[in-house]
Structure 1
């Protein structure tokens, strides 16, 4: 069974916010969604084009002096209905996380413990950087006067909990690895 592409729903949802251009959408993704939903810049414009073709969005083109034409998108009533329908559907399955560190760790009997320790330490640093980024996002949006604010904060809270769990896992794993190294 083919897996559904949820990018169209993400972009339809973003069109219900202040995001009206592909650039606005990319900025919002980079500031918020990227921590739990990856959408590449190369997916945005083809998806917007398809949404317009499917009459789920409209586009208005404005000529700009000395710049490329500006395309602003609006979600249509049909687009709102589709988004609403999708929002009401149950979650089909738990997401499968692809994690390079865990893949390497799974096969780590084939490398030196010092290498594994280094990799877990790097991962812990990246998780701490993610934590700092989540705090910065949280601080920046707390001043927003958006009807979406409570829901945005809930997604940040989820990210903070997952990141905290990852950092704690790193600390426990590093302790185990250091014990293993001492045994050798």
Structure 2
């Protein structure tokens, strides 16, 4: 069975917000979805075209002065029904995370310099701390500029997952460093 393209549902979901142009959709993806669901810029317009062809969305061209017409997209009732059906369908599997650090660690017995492995983990923790700072900024922005719209509650729940997962990964990184420095890879105390 072919794997379903969930990008369709992501863009249908975005069309239920106030993001209707390709640019606005890209901004929404960059500022929120990309923290947990990767969609490249090159996927947006072909998917919008497919959604229009499949009558899940329609496009309105808005004339602009001294610029090409702006295309704005809107979800149709059929599109809402498809999105609703997908939202009600149980999750089939938990995605496997691709993590270069874990791949390197898995084979680190081949590493000649143990200190380099620790440096990799320390750099990973730094990147996680940067990610956590971004999440906290987004959270503050939602609290400060929020309208109380129901979407915001779910955005905050999604953001909370990212914060907790990031904090857990930071804790894991610190524990991994302690284990390597202690010379016990099983995490048990000597």
- Normalised TM-score (structure 1): 0.96
Q: Match for residue 88 of structure 1?
A: 88
Report which stretch shifted further, 142-151 or 159-168.
142-151
Match of 1:150 among 129, 153, 160: 153
List, as ranges, runs of 4+ consecutive aligned residues in structure 1 with deviation greater than 2 Å.
none
Cα distance in 1, alignment partners of residues 156 and 74 from structure 2: 25
| Per-residue Cα deviation, 1:22-74 (whole angstroms, up to 9, x for no partner) | 11011111111111111111111110010000000000111212222200000
Cα distance in 1, alignment partners of residues 124 and 24 from structure 2: 31
Tell me the number of residue pairs that the alignment of Structure 1 and Structure 2 aligns: 181
Aligned-pair CA distance for 1:84: 0.2
The SS at the match of 2:150 is coil
Greater relative contact order (CA < 8 Å, ≥ 6 in sequence): 1
The SS at the match of 1:120 is helix
Q: Match for residue 116 of structure 1?
A: 117
Q: Match for residue 137 of structure 2?
A: 136
Q: Does 1:103 align with 2:103?
A: yes
Cα distance in 1, alignment partners of residues 150 and 118 from structure 2: 45
Q: Does 1:26 align with 2:39?
A: no
Q: Match for residue 17 of structure 1?
A: 17
Structure 2, unaligned stretches of length 5 or more?
185-190
Structure-to-structure mapping, 1:49-88, within 5 angstroms: 49-88=49-88
- Normalised TM-score (structure 2): 0.93
Aligned-pair CA distance for 1:88: 0.2
